[in-house]
């Protein structure tokens, strides 16, 4: 790098996560590693902002991580609760407020009694009020949730106090309080805000400021959590993020495949970018020589990793490669089951479980191959770690990651998802290859891994952020209404026609018809055709049957219309009380809700 060369836009960059706990996983690691690379490579200060009230002293946390070498000395961690508690009287009165502050009556205030946090609860145990106190015993924040009637949840008021007990700011939610603090942190200077936490993004998507470019990072394939074979649901905040990704100036996803999936599902419209994780701490030291018969697998022993497939494939491959053996590093809920399966397959002499070892990835330098057979991955950093060490990856071609990192037959092997025989065949093929072929693959794997160095990935971030700043816009929420004109259910899917009106329904807007599962088990959108009809837009869209068939029977889908303009965004339910509903067909049952809006029930089709 040329001395003084800047890789990133010359504006402050902030990184927002919920918390930096004492022990953390991949998402926080990726955010801190990226922040440190930005700071060190671009010679700048990076501030990591946190909102959790469970965050320990951020100044102490910063020093701890710096001493351990886990973050750069140019990275500083901050926390909203910590700073509001310690803020001077002069700064407290500068905090922006949503409401005109008024002091709660004495009977609404709680006593500290030496405690830092005091709660008032209802008979059922639900929290009605949380007051937080400074070390000197004065109240800093009172969060009351029974505003309408004392003793009964309803209405909310968050109040910020000076040490003298004067109310200086009030909000209807913690979200508004967080955003007011963010205004103090960023000020009026043009800045970039990178949000790494999905739940946090659900609270900040509407943080629209003329001087702030917002980028939301997606670390986990949250849509995958709504698939039948995973059977889990996203939290309220994550669903709020997924259903409002249009608001961000950019949405950064880790892989090309994940990006394509988000676009195909309609969750992302036009603002997505592919920015991979960086390989910050690759295996170190010189290899003693790759043992052609040795495999190393590093990762959690969880059902999603399908390590039983790896063991079965090893047992099959051992028929033609009798000297084959594998070391497993990691632990988890599946460890005992894997040990049992190892014995059942007669692999006791071939497979060794080492448990968790932070130096496990160092073993890649001496192994011939690694195996990845997960149901899905967010990125697959372990593949890069293996490739950097010259260990050849053999992976299922799954969502997402492997196909973005591996070129089949060049720097590793991709096999069909779930095909254990193909996995075994790839292991046996590698074992039988001559030394020159294997050495060529190892060199290719190392070259590929180096493409994800901190410098290379930071350069990609720099060029992308520059482009995003050029096209950034401040969105406002527009007022739109939609009324159903016709609906038809066929073997093809559900055809919906509606009239859309309001200040957001302009000729240059884009329109999408979407559905949100009430149980947070489904979300998607399809592009609609829109044409001017008097002062309104006439909208037509078809939701393909395969999109609806992928949703569990029993789900209830509320149907919306999204209208996205250059600087406006509107979402409205479709009023359907005046339109007849078709009969249920093949498990799809449209109906009008009690409130008069269109919904679709997923029912078990009659046989």
pLDDT digits (tens, 9 = 90+) for 403-447: 999 999 999 999 999 999 999 999 999 999 999 999 999 999 999
Beta partners for residue 26, in sequence order: none
Strands 75-79 and 46-50: parallel
pLDDT of residue 232: 56
d(CA 215, CA 192) in angstroms, rounded, equals: 8
How far separated are the first and last CA of the chain, in Å rounded?
68
Mean pLDDT of 457-481: 95
Task: Tell me what the pLDDT averaged over the chain comes to.
Answer: 92
pLDDT at 203: 95
Q: 13-84+178-274 belongs to which CATH class? A: alpha beta
At residue 3 the predicted structure's pLDDT band, cuts being 50, 70 and 90, is low
Average pLDDT (198-211) is: 95
Span 337-385, pLDDT tens digits: 999 999 999 999 999 999 988 888 899 999 999 999 998 887 888 999 9
Comparing 13-84+178-274 with 476-602, is the CATH topology the same? no
Mean pLDDT value of segment 507-521 = 91
Residue-wise pLDDT tens digits, 272-291? 999 999 999 887 755 557 88
pLDDT at residue 34 tops 60: yes
Its CATH class, for the domain covering 476-602, is mainly beta
293 pLDDT band (50/70/90 cuts)?
very high
Mean pLDDT, rounded, for 315-342: 93
pLDDT of 229: 52
Q: How confident is the model at residue 224 (pLDDT cuts 50, 70, 90)?
A: low
Question: Does residue 401 or residue 246 have the better pLDDT?
Answer: 246
CATH of domain 291-450: 3.40.50.2000
Query: Distances in Å between the alpha carbon of 55 and those of 17, 22, 52, 81?
Result: 11, 9, 6, 8
Q: What is the mean pLDDT of residues 320-345?
A: 93
**pLDDT tens, residue by residue, 138-196:** 999 999 999 888 889 999 999 999 999 999 999 999 999 999 999 999 999 999 999 99
Sorted by sequence, the CB contacts under 8 Å of residue 104 that are 6+ apart come out as 142, 144, 157, 159, 167
The domain spans of the chain are 13-84+178-274, 99-171, 291-450, 476-602
Number of neighbouring beta carbons within 10 Å of residue 353:
16
The predicted-structure confidence for 455-467, as pLDDT tens digits, reads as follows 999 999 999 999 9
| pLDDT average, residue stretch 546-567 | 92
Asked whether the predicted pLDDT for residue 469 surpasses 70, the reply is: yes
User: pTM of the predicted model, to two decimals?
Assistant: 0.90
pLDDT given at position 187: 96
């Amino acid at each position: 790098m040329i001395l003084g060369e800047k890789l990133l836009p010359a504006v402050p960059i902030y990184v927002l996560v919920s918390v930096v706990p004492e022990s953390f996983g991949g998402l926080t690691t990726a955010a801190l590693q990226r922040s440190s690379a930005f700071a060190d490579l671009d010679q700048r200060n990076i501030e990591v902002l946190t909102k959790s009230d469970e965050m320990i002293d951020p100044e102490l946390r910063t020093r701890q991580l710096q001493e351990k070498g886990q973050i750069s000395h140019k990275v500083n961690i901050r926390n909203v609760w910590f700073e509001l508690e310690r803020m001077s009287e002069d700064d407290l009165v500068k905090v922006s407020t949503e409401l005109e502050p008024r002091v709660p009556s004495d009977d609404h205030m709680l006593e500290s009694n030496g405690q830092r946090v005091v709660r008032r609860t209802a008979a059922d145990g639900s929290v009605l009020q949380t007051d937080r106190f400074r070390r000197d015993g004065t109240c800093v924040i009172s969060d009351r949730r029974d505003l309408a009637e004392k003793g009964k949840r309803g209405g909310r008021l968050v109040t910020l106090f000076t040490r003298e007990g004067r109310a200086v700011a009030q909000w209807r939610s913690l979200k508004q309080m967080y955003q007011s603090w963010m205004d103090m942190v960023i000020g009026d200077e043009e800045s970039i805000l990178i949000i790494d936490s999905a739940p946090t993004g659900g609270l900040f998507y509407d943080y629209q400021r003329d001087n702030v470019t917002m980028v939301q990072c997606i670390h986990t394939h949250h849509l995958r959590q709504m698939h039948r074979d995973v059977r889990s649901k996203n939290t309220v905040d994550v669903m709020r993020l997924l259903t409002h990704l249009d608001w961000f100036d950019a949405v950064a996803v880790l892989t090309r495949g994940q990006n394509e999936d988000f676009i195909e599902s309609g969750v992302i419209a036009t603002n997505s970018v592919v920015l991979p994780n960086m390989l910050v701490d690759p295996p170190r030291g010189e290899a003693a020589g790759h043992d052609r018969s040795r495999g190393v697998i590093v990762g959690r022993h969880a059902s999603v990793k399908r390590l039983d497939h790896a063991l079965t494939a090893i047992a099959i491959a051992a028929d033609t490669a009798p000297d084959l053996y594998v070391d497993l590093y990691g632990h988890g809920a599946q460890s005992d089951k894997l040990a049992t399966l190892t014995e059942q397959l007669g692999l006791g002499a071939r497979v060794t479980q080492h448990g968790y070892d932070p130096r496990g990835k160092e073993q890649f330098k001496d192994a011939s191959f690694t195996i990845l057979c997960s149901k899905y991955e967010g990125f697959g950093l372990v593949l890069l770690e293996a490739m950097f060490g010259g260990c050849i990856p053999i992976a299922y071609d799954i969502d997402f990651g492997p196909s973005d990192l591996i070129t089949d037959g060049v720097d590793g092997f991709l096999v069909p998802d779930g095909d254990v025989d193909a996995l075994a065949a790839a292991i046996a093929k590698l074992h039988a290859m001559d030394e020159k072929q294997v050495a060529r693959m190892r060199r290719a794997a190392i070259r590929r891994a180096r493409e994800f160095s901190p410098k290379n990935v930071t350069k990609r971030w720099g060029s992308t952020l520059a482009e995003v700043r050029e096209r950034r816009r401040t969105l406002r929420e527009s007022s739109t209404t939609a009324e159903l004109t016709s609906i038809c259910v066929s073997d093809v899917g559900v055809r919906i026609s509606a009239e859309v009106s309001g200040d957001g329904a302009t000729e240059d807007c884009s329109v999408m018809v979407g559905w949100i599962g009430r149980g947070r088990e489904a979300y998607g959108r399809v592009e609609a055709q829109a044409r001017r009809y008097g002062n309104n837009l006439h909208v037509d869209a078809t939701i393909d049957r395969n999109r609806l068939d992928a949703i569990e029977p029993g789900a209830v889908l509320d149907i919306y219309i999204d209208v996205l303009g250059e600087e406006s965004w509107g979402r409205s339910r479709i009023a359907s009380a005046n339109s007849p509903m078709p009969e249920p067909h093949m498990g799809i049952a449209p109906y009008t809700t009690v409130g008069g809006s269109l919904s679709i029930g997923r029912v078990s089709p009659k046989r």
